């Protein structure tokens, strides 16, 4: 679902006075969002490596904050003499590298626009490995200035191994683990001695407890958050795959419908002409009223067949590319029920809750939508409700327009649906009607059409009490038009 594109900027118009790309306010805003809000919502079309890198940037902010807190606690609360200036300098450099990485993140993702482009993914993976190695070196330098392997916080190096195992390919994760081992070996031989760590066994013991505890908690937190994000992305990919599969089904049905309309159009036209001539002959020959009614019935049924064929393309997905037309809720309701044979059984309720322009009593502006396709989809659901309800029982159709959504409810008084039937109701060719009563495409096509508009279709049913089908379509923030339909993928 993509919002409607904005009109092109007039070249002669004055430039905006807002912040330019790359300006300090924009950079500070980008930093604030990354630090406070964390990674932006996932996109199913984004390569997994870009999502991993985005999380790595966010986790580095947390690591930098933890290092600062640890340094100040050790120096001022515990009174341990450490080279404060040098430590803060290393943390400042680490902060700077993450700020640079954040600023070029968009370019790195742009270098791998498609998941199947291995060269772009390799660049992203190489960047992640380089960042992991760099962070290991930064932590090694901090540990080297604060006691080396005698510092209990050496356990923090394990976090980088855990993150590498989740974020990086196996070969890169092994490289990160080797780097951690090299840093530890170096710290055994090259480090600044901190006497209090040798004399204060209690301090060192509690430091070890705190370090191992924090290492465990941070490892669990970071790994679980990243894993959850990746699982969510996998679910989005599966949803996108199902949507594409539905789209292919719709295209196939549309092709079938177009072929049927083409093949049946000629014989139906012939039947219509012959039926008309037959009616004229019967009228001239003084035939009975019953015979004239039969000839008229043939013409009416042929016309009905032509209307059905004309709608088949829309029913089968042809309405997806339909132009958006200004419509009011009452007009949509009329379009839905006008062509129904049992329209007298449909109780229509229209609620327009959108704020009217011009104050109280002013007429509300119409909203824009592909009204023929939507009306056809809803009409099929209303017809299902009529078929499911006892004879002469009314069916309720509610169309409610709010400021940012269009909601449509269809409620019948039938026998309801079981949980298994509800789960399968939107599958193609699934029907609970008797043989010959329907093809099982109405709910499937309606659901596909509404989902293509960015909306959702929900079925609620209680056995013995009836069924309600709820459709909700998002609208533009002004409430004047649906968000633009998704393009074909």
Question: Treating both helix axes as pointing N-terminal to C-terminal, what angle do 24-32 and 84-103 enclose, rounded to 10 degrees?
Answer: 100
Per residue in 408-442, pLDDT (tens digit) is 999 999 888 988 888 888 887 777 776 655 667 77
Is 300 buried (19+), middle (13-18) or exposed (0-12) by CB count in 10 A? exposed
pTM over 0.95: no
Partner residues linked to 482 by β-bridges: 475
Distance CA 342, CA 383 (A): 8
Distance (Å, whole) CA 326 – CA 331: 10
Report the sign of the C-alpha dihedral through residues 136, 141, 142, 144, in that order: positive
E strand or H helix at 469 = strand 466-474
Token digits of residue 278 = 């037959």
Distance of CA 233 to the CA centre of its chain: 10
Between the two ends of the chain, the Cα-to-Cα distance in Å is: 11
Provide the b/e sequence for 76-104 (b: ≥16 CB within 10 Å).
eeeebebeeeebeebbeebbebbbebbee
The whole-number average pLDDT for the span 359-380 is 75
Asked whether residue 131 carries a pLDDT value surpassing 50, the answer given is: yes
pLDDT for 458 equals 93
CATH class entry, domain 322-356+364-474: alpha beta
| Angle in degrees, CA 248, 249, 255, rounded to 5 | 90
pLDDT of residue 116: 45
H or E element that contains 420:
helix 419-424
Residue 94 near residue 135 (C-beta atoms within 8 A)? yes
Question: What number is the average pLDDT over the span 127-131?
Answer: 85
- pLDDT tens per residue, range 200-257: 667 777 778 888 888 888 778 777 877 787 788 788 778 778 777 777 766 666 666 6
CA distance 242 to 489: 12
Q: Is 468 helix (H, G, I), strand (E, B) or coil?
A: strand
Q: 466: left (phi > 0), else alpha (psi -120 to 50), else beta?
A: left
- pLDDT value, residue 106: 67
CA–CA distance, 370 with 111 (Å, rounded to integer)? 37
Q: What is residue 401's predicted lDDT score, i.e. its pLDDT?
A: 87
Using one digit for the tens of pLDDT, what is the confidence trace for 4-33?
A: 333 344 443 434 333 344 444 554 454 454
Residue 464 pLDDT grade (very low, low, confident, very high; cuts 50, 70, 90): confident
Q: CB under 8 Å to 176, separation ≥6 — which residues?
A: 129, 132, 133, 136, 160, 161, 164, 168
What torsion, rounded to 10 degrees, do the Cα atoms 294, 295, 297, 299 define? Answer: 170
218 CB neighbour count, 10 Å cutoff: 19
Q: What is the pLDDT of residues 258-303, one digit of tens each?
A: 677 667 777 888 888 888 888 888 888 888 888 888 888 888 888 8
pLDDT at 192 over 50: yes
Tokens of 22: 């790359």
Residues 143, 151 contacting (CB under 8 angstroms): yes
User: In the structure, what pLDDT confidence band is assigned to residue 185 with cuts at 50, 70 and 90?
Assistant: very high
As a whole number, mean pLDDT of residues 467-478 equals 81
Which pLDDT score, from 0 to 100, does residue 402 have?
Answer: 80
Kindly state the tokens that stand for 133: 């190695």
Task: Using the structure block, give the residue that is written with the tokens 């379509």.
Answer: 473
270 near 305, Cβ under 8 Å? no
Half-sphere exposure of 99 (CA within 13 A, CB side): 14
Listed residue (401, 291, 301, 370) closest to 341, CA to CA: 301
Q: What's the chain's Rg over C-alpha atoms? A: 34
**What are residue 28's phi and psi, to 5 degrees?**
-65, -40
pLDDT > 90: what percent of the chain? 13
| Extended strands (E) in 256-328 | 325-327
| Mean pLDDT along residues 383-391 | 89
Examine the pLDDT at 328 and tell me if it is beyond 50.
yes
What's 339's DSSP letter? T
Give whichever of 131-145, 232-246, 282-296, 346-360 has the largest mean pLDDT: 131-145
Range from 249-263, 396-410, 474-488 that averages highest in pLDDT: 396-410
User: At 43, is the pLDDT very low, low, confident or very high (cuts 50, 70, 90)?
Assistant: very low
Return the H-helix or E-strand segment holding 205.
Answer: helix 201-284
* Residue 95 binned pLDDT confidence (cut-offs 50, 70, 90): very high
Q: How far apart are CA 22 and CA 33, in angstroms?
A: 15
Cα four-point dihedral sign 166, 170, 171, 173: positive
**What integer pLDDT is reported at residue 198 of this predicted model?**
66
User: What integer best gives the mean pLDDT of the chain?
Assistant: 76
What is the secondary structure of 64-80 as a DSSP string?
A: HHHHHHHHHIIIIIS--
Residue 469 pLDDT greater than 90, yes or no: yes
CB 469 within 8 A of CB 376: no
DSSP string, 31-63: HHIIIII-SPPP-TTS-HHHHHHHHHHHHHHHH
Residue with the bigger pLDDT between 51 and 382: it is 382
Per-residue model confidence (pLDDT) at position 445: 82
């Amino acid at each position: 679902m993509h919002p409607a594109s904005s009109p092109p900027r007039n070249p002669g118009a004055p430039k905006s006075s807002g912040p330019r790309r790359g300006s300090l306010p924009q950079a500070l805003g980008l930093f604030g969002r990354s630090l406070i809000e964390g990674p932006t919502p996932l996109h199913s079309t984004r390569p997994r490596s870009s999502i991993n890198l985005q999380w790595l940037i966010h986790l580095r902010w947390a690591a930098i904050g933890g290092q600062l807190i640890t340094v100040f606690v050790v120096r001022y609360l515990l009174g341990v003499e450490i080279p404060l200036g040098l430590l803060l300098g290393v943390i400042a450099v680490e902060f700077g590298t993450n700020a640079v990485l954040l600023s070029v993140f968009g370019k790195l993702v742009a270098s791998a626009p498609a998941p199947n482009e291995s060269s772009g993914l390799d660049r992203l993976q190489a960047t992640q490995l380089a960042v992991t190695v760099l962070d290991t070196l930064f932590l090694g330098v901090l540990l080297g200035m604060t006691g080396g392997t005698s510092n209990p916080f050496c356990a923090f190096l394990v976090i980088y191994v855990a993150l590498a195992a989740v974020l990086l390919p196996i070969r890169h994760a092994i490289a990160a683990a080797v780097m951690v081992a090299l840093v530890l070996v170096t710290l055994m031989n090259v480090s600044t001695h901190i006497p209090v760590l040798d004399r204060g066994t209690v301090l060192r013991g509690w430091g070890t407890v705190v370090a191992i505890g924090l290492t465990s908690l941070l490892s669990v937190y970071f790994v679980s958050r990243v894993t959850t994000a990746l699982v969510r992305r996998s679910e989005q990919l599966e949803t996108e795959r199902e949507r594409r599969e539905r789209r292919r089904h719709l295209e196939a049905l549309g092709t079938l419908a177009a072929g049927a309309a083409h093949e049946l159009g000629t014989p139906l036209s012939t039947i219509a002409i012959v039926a008309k001539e037959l009616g004229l002959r019967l009228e001239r020959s003084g035939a009975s009223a019953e015979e004239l009614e039969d000839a008229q019935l043939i013409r009416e049924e042929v016309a009905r067949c032509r209307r059905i064929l004309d709608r088949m393309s829309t029913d089968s997905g042809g309405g997806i590319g339909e132009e958006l037309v200004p419509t009011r809720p009452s007009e949509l309701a009329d379009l839905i029920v006008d062509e129904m044979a049992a329209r007298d059984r449909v109780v229509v309720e229209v609620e327009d809750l959108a704020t009217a322009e011009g104050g109280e009593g002013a007429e509300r502006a119409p909203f824009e939508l592909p009204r023929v396709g939507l009306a056809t989809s809803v009409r099929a659901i209303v017809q299902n409700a009529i078929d499911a309800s006892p004879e002469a029982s009314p069916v309720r159709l509610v169309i409610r327009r709010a400021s940012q959504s269009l909601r449509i409810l269809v409620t019948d008084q039938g026998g309801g649906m079981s949980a298994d039937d509800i789960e399968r109701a939107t599958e193609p060719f699934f029907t609970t009607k008797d043989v010959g009563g329907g093809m099982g495409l109405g709910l499937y096509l309606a659901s596909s059409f509404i989902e293509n508009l960015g909306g959702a279709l929900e079925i609620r049913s209680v056995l013995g009490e009836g069924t309600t089908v709820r459709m909700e379509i998002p609208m533009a923030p002004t409430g004047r038009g649906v968000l633009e339909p998704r393009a074909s993928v």
